[in-house]
Structure 1
Amino acid sequence: MRITCVGGGPAGLYFAVLAKLADPARSVTVLERNPPGVTYGWGVVFWDDLLDDLFAYDPVSARRIWEAACQWDEYEVRATGKDVTYLAGYGFSLGRHRLLAILSERAEELGVDVRYSEPVSHPVRHRHAPTPPTLPHSDISDLPGGRARNAELADADLIVACDGAGSQLRNADAAHFGTEISTGANKYIWLGTPHVFRTFTFGFEKTHAGWIWYHAYPFDDETSTFIVECTPAVWSALELDRLDAAAGCARLESIFAAHLDGQPLINRSSGWLNFRRVTNQRWDNGNVVLMGDAAHTTHFAIGSGTKLAMQDAMELADSLTTGGPLAPALERYEHRRRAALAPLQRAARASSEWFERMPEYADLPSIRFSYALSDRRGEYPLWRYLLHVSTQRSVPRAMLRSALNARRRNRARRRPAAEPRIPQLTGG
């Protein structure tokens, strides 16, 4: 089987790793449009459930990810005019550059051909699937660099489209996939800062124009992710719609000065965005299958994008283990991932809608406000509120953190560290 992954993000690289683990003789290529080391975003977050899965599938890359990640053991909530409060929980964070470096290194160790500066931006005729008559067709030779540059697409038995929410391969056949994109109301921007936050922090500031807030977390010893979000009305009133990148960062540094300890904000993104919810009625077309953000997106407020992309890769690898035709395997992958995604997608929608209504909660007392933030999915029983109230005091809070960290250590000890789980891929 010849496999080509279009997109060198976590989904594409990790699936390439699993494909090579399945059979080192397979030909596996990853085409990434950006040069090496160029990626969108700052840090990513994940939890023990993803680590458990990573160790089950490939302990080598899992251990490297685990050892490189920062660990935090609670959430901190700050808001203008309110006491600082805390939410129970723990997780991991890692620079996106570092994660991709780990995965690309692992893939290349296994013999994956990882190619950078390889754009795929034209419609491609998919093997085993007719070209929809309403869409223009370009041969592989029409791509930048000609046939030699992207011959892997023409010759591939399986093409994995994991090139992000704006996937070119998916968009070329959007009518077939039934692609639907809805846009969230709030504006947000993905920034970084050399101020290293102690733990995952939500900070809310009330300005003359209204409320604006950030989601921040450390991902190495020198840098934190700093995502700023607000309603469109506040965004316009603060003139953030008219300021260039430098002036916009300066305005935000002034607003969040009490949180940044004199450190700057750094903008390496494309600017302010509205979150795009991507769904598809179908995930495959002939020998082309969607993965990660190309197939689905979940709002950043629940921090599950990387986790879901890598779990897509695991499920696709598993679905190709039984042998036989490719089509049933791709259908099996889609069915299982849709079922697994459904509760998280509901949670992500509830979470994003809570932030769109955030000003409605702003007048709550500090403890009730932070609990409303914690319970924005509306799932918690009464005892969670009682626990939240009691653990705002230092001694019960320290006891809870100690208990959670003990659970984290016990869970880590149960992870396999020996031979990787090796699925056998379909095809010859």
Structure 2
Amino acid sequence: MRIATIGGGPGGLFFSILAAQLPRVDEVTVVERSPEGVTYGWGVVFWDELLDDLAAADAPTARALRDVAFTWHDQVIGVAGGEPVNLGGHGHSTGRAQLRELLTARAREVGVDVRFGAELDPATLAGYDVVVGADGVGSAVRAAGNFGTTVTPGDNRYVWLGTSTVFDSFTFPFVESAHGWLWAHAYGYAPGASTFVVETTAATHAALGLDTMPTADALALVGELFAAQLDGHPLHAPQGTGETLPWLRFRTVRNERWYDGNVALLGDAAHTTHFTIGSGTRLALEDAIALAAELGRHDTVTAALAAYGLRRTSEIAPLVTEARGSARWFEDVPRHIAHPAPDFARLLINRRRPIVRRLPGAYLGYGRLRRAAAAAPVARPARAALRALRSRHG
């Protein structure tokens, strides 16, 4: 079996690593249009569960990733310079360039032909038994097929920035400008390096002039707004930035089918989950594991790709719902941020729950009554009120 993977991101490379080790596979080629060593973005986050999944699928890859992982502790939420709220937890991150480098090295070690700075002629793809589109949210492979694709843009504007400030915790700072709130999703991923994703509403983005402001001026303005969090360190624009910062609207990609003939989609080409839940890399790597497993399990390509599509659409469905809820919550930050900082932090950390978006006051009231009942077991009125609130709001 000959396999071609279009796209040399984490999902495409890891799939090639696993596919090259299948008994029936004779040749695996990865084609990536960007030059080797060139990546766009800063760091990616992942969790212990992903490391466990990688270890089960390919132990050398898991060991290499553990060796370079930056571990952050706690989730810290700060509003307008007020007392931060610490919600605990931990996770890991690493630089995109470092992740691609270690996956490329492992792919070549198992015999994958990895070609950077190249594109396959569509006519050439006819010679492959399986073609995998792992070429991202704007997938050319997907555009050339029949997958029943819908792409829905979100309302907020965001930009991926970098800084030399090291955030040892996953930090959510919220700052108020003259035209509304901006916030960041900040986390370290290497010594002396952090990702700093800035997000705001469309109205604030336009009122501040960030859509047309020159890059240097925009970096200065955003840096000034977050000066307390950046501790004197500058913000850096993504590689290849032009005259203005690349502010984006998140695109939610859905496909009715994940395969068309012998072509399968993987990662952001197949689905996107909002960056606020930090699962993009994880899902792409888990797609890779599932696709390789189904190719190894079935006698025909058609059966394998059909099984892969059914399996992954079912497995990611809960996360798709949670991601949609998280995105909507952040689109509604101006509504929630009037709450006291501890309550606002509680809403943020539980933002994936439907009641938090629809009835935030009821959710907070329910939590207070529940804690009161636990602290005072004999307080019958509190218990009665708790039961009544639960019955009204499910």
Place the TM-score, normalised by the shorter chain, in its bin. 0.7 to 0.9
| Alpha-carbon distance in 1 for matches of 2:353, 2:82 | 23
Q: Read off the aligned partner of 2:67 and give its amino acid letter.
A: E
1:342 aligns with 2:312: no
The residue correspondences of 1:23-422 to structure 2 (distance < 5 A) are: 23=23, 26-80=26-80, 82-120=82-120, 124=122, 140=123, 151=124, 153-173=125-145, 176-268=146-238, 271-378=246-353
Deviation at 1:119, TM superposition (A): 2.8
How far residue 212 of structure 1 moved from its aligned partner, in angstroms, is: 0.4
TM-score norm. by structure 2 comes to 0.87
Task: State the 1:82 CA deviation.
Answer: 2.9
Question: 2:336 touches 2:344 (CA, 8 Å); kept in 1?
Answer: yes
Q: Secondary structure at the match of 1:37?
A: coil
8 Å Cα contact 1:24/1:111 also seen in 2: no
TM-superposed CA distance for 1:81, in Å, is 5.2
Partner SS, residue 102 of structure 1: helix
- d(CA) in 2 for partners of 1:8 and 1:385? 46
Cα contact 1:46–1:93 (8 A) shared by 2? yes
What is the distance in 1 between the residues matched to 2:231 and 2:63?
Answer: 34
How many residues align? The count is 359
1:100-119 Cα deviation digits (max 9, x unpaired): 10100000011100000113
Q: Where do 5+ consecutive residues of structure 1 fail to align?
A: 125-139, 141-150, 391-428
**Amino acid of the residue matched to residue 30 of structure 1?**
V
CA deviations over 1:29-62 (Å, ceiling 9, x no partner): 0000000111121100011111110000111110
Query: Does structure 2 conserve the Cα–Cα contact (< 8 Å) formed by 1:31 and 1:116?
Result: yes
Q: Deviations for 1:293-316, whole angstroms, at most 9, x for unmatched residues?
A: 000000000000000000000000
The one-letter amino acid paired with 2:229 is H
Supply the distance in 2 between the matched residues of 1:40 and 1:281 (Cα, whole angstroms): 29
Compute the RMSD of aligned alpha carbons: 2.1
CA distance in 2, matches of 1:318, 1:171: 26
More displaced stretch, 264-273 vs 99-108: 264-273
Quote the offset at 1:25 in angstroms.
6.2
Kindly indicate whether the alpha-carbon contact (under 8 Å) linking 2:73 and 2:168 is maintained by their aligned counterparts in 1: no
Mean CA deviation greater in 239-248 or 286-295? 239-248
The answer to whether the 8 Å contact 1:184/1:277 transfers is yes
SS in 2 for 1:21: coil
Give 2:127's aligned amino acid.
D
- Residue identity opposite 1:119 in structure 2: E
For the Cα contact (< 8 Å) 2:131–2:263, is it kept in 1?
yes
The question of whether the paired residues in 2 share the 8 Å contact of 1:7 and 1:32 is answered with yes
1:73 corresponds to which letter in structure 2? H
Q: Indicate conservation of the 8 Å contact 2:171/2:187, yes or no.
A: yes
Q: Give the aligned residue type for 1:163.
A: D
Q: How many percent identity over aligned positions?
A: 46
TM-score by length of 1: 0.81
Shift of 1:24: 9.0
Give the equivalent residue in structure 2 for 1:127: none
| Residues 242-284 of structure 1: CA deviation (Å, up to 9, x unaligned) | 1122211111111111110111110015500000000111111
- Are the equivalent residues in 2 in contact too, given 1:19–1:26 (CA < 8 A)? no
CA contact (8 A) 2:34 2:116 kept: yes
Unaligned stretches of 5+ in structure 2?
A: 357-362, 373-394
Deviations 1:380-417 (A, max 9, x none): 999x957xx99xxxxxxxxxxxxxxxxxxxxxxxxxxx
Corresponding position of 2:375:
none
Give, as a single letter, the amino acid of the residue that structure 1 aligns with 2:193: T
Looking at structure 1, the residues matched to 44 and 167 of structure 2 have their Cα atoms a distance apart, in angstroms, of 15
Deviations 1:106-162 (A, max 9, x none): 000111000001135x7x4xxxxxxxxxxxxxxx3xxxxxxxxxx3x2311100000
